[in-house]
Structure 1
């Protein structure tokens, strides 16, 4: 997902919102002057963001095409979750209610329906991490934030799947839906077959109030803003009902991937268990406790994340590094361990 509070590179020169869209939205989200283009996501993202002001306050408005995977009801449930977290002490960018009092709106322009929501702009910057030896404070605060969200998720009314349903009565937000979306998205037959095997393993796992609930589902540093002493979690557009260990695995996968493949600090790999996972998980456990057996699922969920990254970045990796794509495919198919054998989770 794109960072939805900071302007994307190349977005030089603001462009007005299309006139038909302005007409559809002007009564729902009144502005001092018409909204202008602020940022657009990449090919794997999901909408266009416009900036506007209301009574001197800077705000952002996200416009997303509606479709089978995105409805007004599902977006509204995710926005309600974000608002509830904010009210309970998690730093997020809570949605603004429209003039009709709703957290999200659906408007139609021509033959296209759009889902829209708004929030206040903040001055925070996207988190930029350097040498992992210098990131201990961030790791602790990151783990604490995740633990707090998981603890709060245990009090959210829904925990197995969404309250909102489709015409057939199936939940609009669920792990089953996520599995189906990616099953269709894979461009490699062998990986798709391995994904079906993964589903069998997931279906055998226990699902309880203590290990499963509503998650942000993408809490990597690219979706965290830093403002003074605050860490602000943004972009809840893929929030889902999953095991809490899924998000822990997302964070671990993200930082190991950054250090080993996207930084000059790959030599720190052997230290990451001590300098990253240990402070991260100690802070997590200061806020939330998981059943001991959950930690044994970390490699399953790290491979789950690897599947999703394979699907989301398939074209990009194939064009830039086909050798890496082939290696990643084999890691997925054979469910190779992501972490060293001796790691924090194994020692639990």
Structure 2
């Protein structure tokens, strides 16, 4: 969806929703249209910036969105940089907002703007090519810190987030949609993907779900959801946070790097950074290729369910990667 069209559809609703929050002379500018529609909200009196999100209807319930805020608060208490929510003038976390342009009602929420450069953009500079292993080492350590926090933390009663178990990822109605039905797949691709899905579901079903390997994860910690701040990284966009395998979280961080010539170096740097903070047995790390395929498949499902999102040049290389990985999996299992 083009920016002008998104502004036309969602801008009036965002401006109306902003009135519910203690922000004076609110000024909004569109940031992105993805899972949610996100605006930069500036206080015209103080200059303070906030993030206003119009949440996608039917994706996360209000209880699940509240749970997201509970976890980010716990992460901040543990010393990690994560979004800080802003309550409405009457103390609510979210307000329902009608979107006349689409006929929807979306929940609107606001968090403090975190300054920084998106890691994806930061690493695109040719002058920083040699820094990629360094930053993925730092990212590995950061992911490990989130896993340590969630492993030791007990969510409060009523805490609600989805489960990314075998069915949640590879079942008949997976969390992010039937990836095997994406229009870009040929009939041969579809058969290949369905055969791979059956094997992957079986392997996931056999994996343990004890707290050392399965727990609350961000589930979308790719470099587009990390901000560079000096030598540190801040995490944003906890919309997909769920209970799942920690190796899935690791695969998310590395999936987009697979086509890079330095993938092995970046992967090893990430795992080294992770292991400096938290134990990762070799048997668990060996599951990485499986979860890389899982991540690519669920992203295809995500796109299938969101035709308004233009994948640009990303889609065909990813499908080619899926073909290679799925064929290797089928060859491995005979």
The TM-score normalised by the length of structure 2 is: 0.77
Root mean square deviation of aligned Cα: 3.5
| Alignment deviations for residues 28-72 of structure 1 (CA, whole Å, 9 cap, x no partner) | x13212442322325xx33232423175122121112321x2211
Give the match for residue 327 of structure 1: 320
| Alignment deviations for residues 307-341 of structure 1 (CA, whole Å, 9 cap, x no partner) | 1233345789998599746633422432459xxxx
Give the match for residue 181 of structure 1: 175
Q: Are residue 37 (structure 1) and residue 29 (structure 2) matched?
A: yes
SS at 2:258's partner residue? Answer: helix
| Misfit runs of 4+, over 6 Å | 14-17, 314-319
Q: CA 1:192/1:94 → structure 2, altered by over 3 Å: closer, same or farther?
A: farther
CA contact (8 A) 1:74 1:173 kept: no
| Alignment deviations for residues 87-116 of structure 1 (CA, whole Å, 9 cap, x no partner) | 211122222233344444444567632122
- Give 1:209 deviation, angstroms: 0.9
Q: CA 1:114/1:9 → structure 2, altered by over 3 Å: closer, same or farther?
A: closer
Farther-moved stretch of structure 1 (119-128 vs 238-247)? 119-128
Give the match for residue 159 of structure 2: 163
Once the two structures are superposed, the pairs formed by residues 298-337 of structure 1 within 5 Å of their partners are 298-312=288-302, 324=317, 327-336=320-329
| Alignment deviations for residues 166-195 of structure 1 (CA, whole Å, 9 cap, x no partner) | xxxxx6454344542335343254224532
Q: Are residue 143 (structure 1) and residue 140 (structure 2) matched?
A: yes
| Alignment deviations for residues 102-134 of structure 1 (CA, whole Å, 9 cap, x no partner) | 444444567632122212223311122156533
Q: Are residue 126 (structure 1) and residue 123 (structure 2) matched?
A: no
> Which blocks of at least 5 consecutive residues in structure 2 are unaligned?
none
CA contact (8 A) 1:92 1:232 kept: yes
Q: CA 1:15/1:83 → structure 2, altered by over 3 Å: closer, same or farther?
A: farther
Give the match for residue 93 of structure 1: 83
Once the two structures are superposed, the pairs formed by residues 276-295 of structure 1 within 5 Å of their partners are 276-295=266-285
> Which blocks of at least 5 consecutive residues in structure 1 are unaligned?
1-7, 165-170, 260-265, 338-348
The TM-score normalised by the length of structure 1 is: 0.74
SS at 2:136's partner residue? Answer: helix
